[in-house]
Amino acid sequence: MSSHVFHDIYLHLNWHTQGDLPLLKPNIARQVREFIQDRCSGTKGVYYLGIGGTPTHIHLLLKVEPFVCPSKLVGDLKGASAREINARTRRQTLRWQRGFGIVSFAGKHLNGMLRYLARQEKHHAAGTLKKTLERHTFEAPQAA
């Protein structure tokens, strides 16, 4: 990246398993998270910050350079992780549903975002979700 461009881009991404099925059992979830972390670390302009989720979805925090196209990145992460896990298990263990959620956030909120990811199971059980961070599909504004 050119030293002539200032950037401070933090992203929160999330996506769900197909049909919101609990496909991310503990062993599979661990493998998926490790794979995604490694894939991000090997992708130019992408800096892995944290990952979390539940048996039905993934939350991922990244810092990116301006040339990174989020939709291409997510497509790569979803496709590559499903291919890898399915190859390891030799069956259709993991399928992702179409779409994803993306929200930018300020770097000063990174610690709070990491805490939110670490407590995903508790937030879902208690109903203390941050709706903006949980959305993964477009919802058209309501007509007045």
Whether the CB-CB separation of 85 and 94 falls below 8 Å is answered with yes
Contacts 24+ apart (CB under 8 A), 83-92: 84/35, 85/28, 85/31, 85/32, 85/35, 88/31, 89/28
Distance CA 41, CA 48 (A): 6
Question: What confidence tens digit (pLDDT) does each residue in 23-53 have?
Answer: 999 999 999 999 999 999 999 999 999 999 9
Compute the CA torsion angle 113, 114, 115, 117 (nearest 10 deg): 90
Please, what is the Cα angle at 97 between 35 and 109, to 5 degrees? Answer: 60
Question: What confidence tens digit (pLDDT) does each residue in 84-113 have?
Answer: 999 999 999 999 999 999 999 999 999 998
Q: Where are the domains of the chain?
A: 9-122
In CATH, 9-122 is 3.40.640.10: no
